[in-house]
């Protein structure tokens, strides 16, 4: 039995590499059905994501204030507070003035 050694992705295709023999390329359209592809999030879910991002802000700011966390994250300090703030803002959150209501301002 051949063992899968890798999977690569190209536009419209998934290629499966084996330890022996030629790679097999599968057309994504033949694998996925329209029902398998999410249509997106609803308007009400967007405000919940923003509220969740702001909840994370409150948690991070509280832990930094209590000196449990510093402004660098991960074991080696690979992520800093600016990276976290950017990710939060990309989700609609606000590090400076977090709002948990989930309503648009």
Q: For the segment 50-76, what is each residue's pLDDT rounded down to a tens digit?
A: 888 899 899 988 988 888 877 777 667
C-alpha 69/C-alpha 43 separation (Å) is 34
pTM over 0.75: no
Distance of alpha carbon 76 from alpha carbon 39, whole angstroms: 38
Compute the distance between CA of residue 96 and CA of residue 68 in angstroms, rounded to an integer: 20
What is the Cα–Cα distance from 24 to 39, expressed in whole angstroms?
A: 29
CA distance 81 to 56: 12
CB 6 within 8 A of CB 17: yes
Answer yes or no: is pLDDT of 38 > 80: no
H or E segment at 91?
A: none
Q: How far is CA 19 from the centre of its chain?
A: 32
Q: Average pLDDT in the 39-56 region? A: 79
At residue 25, the pLDDT reads: 92
* 3/19 Cα distance (integer angstroms): 6
- Residue 32: the pLDDT is 76
């Amino acid at each position: 039995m051949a063992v899968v050694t890798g999977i690569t992705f190209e536009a419209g295709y998934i290629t499966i590499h084996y330890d022996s023999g030629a790679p097999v390329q599968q057309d994504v359209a033949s694998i996925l059905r329209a029902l398998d592809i999410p249509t997106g999030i609803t308007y009400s879910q967007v405000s919940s994501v923003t509220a969740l991002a702001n909840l994370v802000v409150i948690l991070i700011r509280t832990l930094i204030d209590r000196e449990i966390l510093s402004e660098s994250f991960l074991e080696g300090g690979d992520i800093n507070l600016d990276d976290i703030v950017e990710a939060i803002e990309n989700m609609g959150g606000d590090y400076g003035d977090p709002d948990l209501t989930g309503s648009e301002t």
